[in-house]
Structure 1
């Protein structure tokens, strides 16, 4: 009897092991299961992507990419509206999204637990996939204000964006490169549109705006008010890049805004794709490859700024192993 029972149990155990092995061969399609893909195949994946407000550039840009990649590869990038950079990083940390687009300065703050993330602490649950396009640090003043350099902002009434925003930290860092603190200006915390309106009405002398150029609020302002964009000279640009690894040099072309008749040198941060470290190497390799090898077909103006060189420069947070593998394969990094 005992022998028969042992045989029966052995047979049950063998069938159980075979069943588990068969189940284990199936590719994971659930984002929470890791989205493992076979080499060269993205059709089985479903990636939740955090962007920004539903009327913003992040949301529209990522929807364009999602549509084309689904057509080309079968990949499903599930685009979600969100509170933008900081919220996206927290959502990756909490497992709500697998991928996001964020400013590269904000992801630096998160990775190191500084500035916007000083109260949260360092978050290491994400890696870089690649940079996409520039978000330009623009300093706007009236044409007749006499403000020609950043140094001229000392003692002036200056809007530095919403309190606690990435723009406010950009302003603090740029002013700091010139030896100016917030105590040296009459600091105002206004949104882009409110800043433009206040400048037009003479309530402030200048404002900072970090966004893709041209920026609607500045474009509209320039049609009714003479403006200047304040340049960041080479010496202070170099200092900013030395002090902060996420700034890139940027030239706002003449004609970007009404009355801006010459190129203006400034700095920019980068709209950058990041991914959860829970995604496996093959998935992120295929995703990186698909995103950048189809860049010429995206029907969005920001896609014109995409390049492999741009994707890998001024990045201070480590690349995901899958992205790193792709960039090494194409010679973008060594």
Structure 2
């Protein structure tokens, strides 16, 4: 017990000295925390596409990447791009983010609906497959034919309508069918459809199969540049000769295609820290070269009519956030959110470090110093007393000194200040001798 009482540090005095200041700091930090952005959630809802589609495949890859940072990405299936867009902008939907094809909306609508783009991810060229003895170079040549554009949720129908619109054509000029990709392809190969319109990435197995099917032609958009001027969300891409099969020389020449891009779209309520995390995943998933894009071309802040979020723009300019290059995502995010708190604490720490130690020392020494007033009172009690009364007064003051000494002996003080306690005791002895000298 004595070892606890006589130590180099007094916990009680430390608490009394540090407590009020610490409480003040905590109040200030708590007030600052009120204005600090909360941490991102660990569960998100991502809308991809139909089962086994490219969108669905990529959504699963995003889920795998984000799981490395302890974030659960719940993947939901949909009909396609337009369905995804409707779910993301629906305030009652649980969906936070998903794939949307460029051209699905416009900047004014996107801003009004609180949509943000994290950038474009890959090209999704418009593939128009048909059967004909001669090559067709004008979409007007398809008038009256049975054309499959997929279900409304795909977004291909809207895209096809925009494309034929700049050709002064409308839906009524064709016999439009709305079968899904698998059913449409089967019907096309069975001769129940004349034209198959698709918008898909180059790794689509259906596209690769159709490119190698005898008798099936691919429409060559020889006016591709003109289309991109009229419809800015489209890009001019080239399917290189032999890219499908170099040995068999498929295709036997270059084909010019027009292509929207798949973009990563979210609601503006998405936590900013998650934006850079998604883009880091996008760089791993879509950063490689393929039939139409060069290494490192995607993700990109181009090719999207939906406003690109400032946090995403920062990523494209500077890359991965500095702290995330050296720390885990959660630790880096904590420091990024708490810099105001840390700055506040740092601003208070320096002056407090100069105030609190002297306050602590004063509290310890005050236990000793206050008894010097008692000793002075004893000395003053002996002054001005007549000689006949001095013996009686001295006896009273000696008794008082004994009481003081007994109380002083009960003082608990850190060893670092023991010299002052022993100094007090020697001064008590000094006063006692002076009083005894009055006998």
* TM-score normalized by the length of structure 2: 0.56
Q: Deviations over 1:223-275 (max 9, x none)?
A: 554211101123xx333323323111122233438853222111111111122
The counterpart of 2:87, out of the listed 88, 91, 102, is 91
Check conservation: 1:99, 1:275, Cα contact below 8 A. Answer: yes
Which has a greater percent of helix?
2
Q: Deviations over 1:94-153 (max 9, x none)?
A: 2513222221222x25x555xxxxxxx985222010111111100101253653442321
Check conservation: 1:126, 1:276, Cα contact below 8 A. Answer: yes
Q: Hey, what's the Cα distance between the residues in 2 that align with 1:303 and 1:238? A: 16
Check conservation: 2:146, 2:194, Cα contact below 8 A. Answer: yes
Report the equivalent of 2:316.
327
Question: Cα gap change, 1:143/1:328 in structure 2, threshold over 3 Å: closer, same or farther?
Answer: same
Which has a greater percent of strand?
1
Question: Cα gap change, 1:159/1:303 in structure 2, threshold over 3 Å: closer, same or farther?
Answer: closer
Q: Which runs of no fewer than 5 residues in structure 1 stay unpaired?
A: 1-13, 32-44, 114-120
Q: Hey, what's the Cα distance between the residues in 1 that align with 2:241 and 2:201? A: 15
Report the equivalent of 1:207.
196
Q: Which aligned pairs between 1:249-288 and structure 2 lie closer than 5 A?
A: 249-255=236-242, 256=244, 260-284=251-275, 286-287=276-277
Check conservation: 2:287, 2:298, Cα contact below 8 A. Answer: no
Q: Which runs of no fewer than 5 residues in structure 2 stay unpaired?
A: 1-23, 320-439
Larger radius of gyration between Structure 1 and Structure 2: 2
- Count of aligned residue pairs for this structure pair: 290
Check conservation: 1:158, 1:188, Cα contact below 8 A. Answer: yes
Check conservation: 2:237, 2:256, Cα contact below 8 A. Answer: yes
Check conservation: 1:148, 1:230, Cα contact below 8 A. Answer: yes
Report the equivalent of 1:60.
57
Q: Hey, what's the Cα distance between the residues in 2 that align with 1:98 and 1:221? A: 35
Q: Hey, what's the Cα distance between the residues in 2 that align with 1:85 and 1:183? A: 23
The counterpart of 1:248, out of the listed 235, 239, 255, is 235
SS of residue in 2 equivalent to 1:240: helix
Question: Cα gap change, 1:60/1:163 in structure 2, threshold over 3 Å: closer, same or farther?
Answer: closer
Q: Which aligned pairs between 1:142-157 and structure 2 lie closer than 5 A?
A: 142-144=131-133, 146-157=135-146
Check conservation: 1:129, 1:274, Cα contact below 8 A. Answer: yes
CA RMSD of aligned residues (A): 3.7
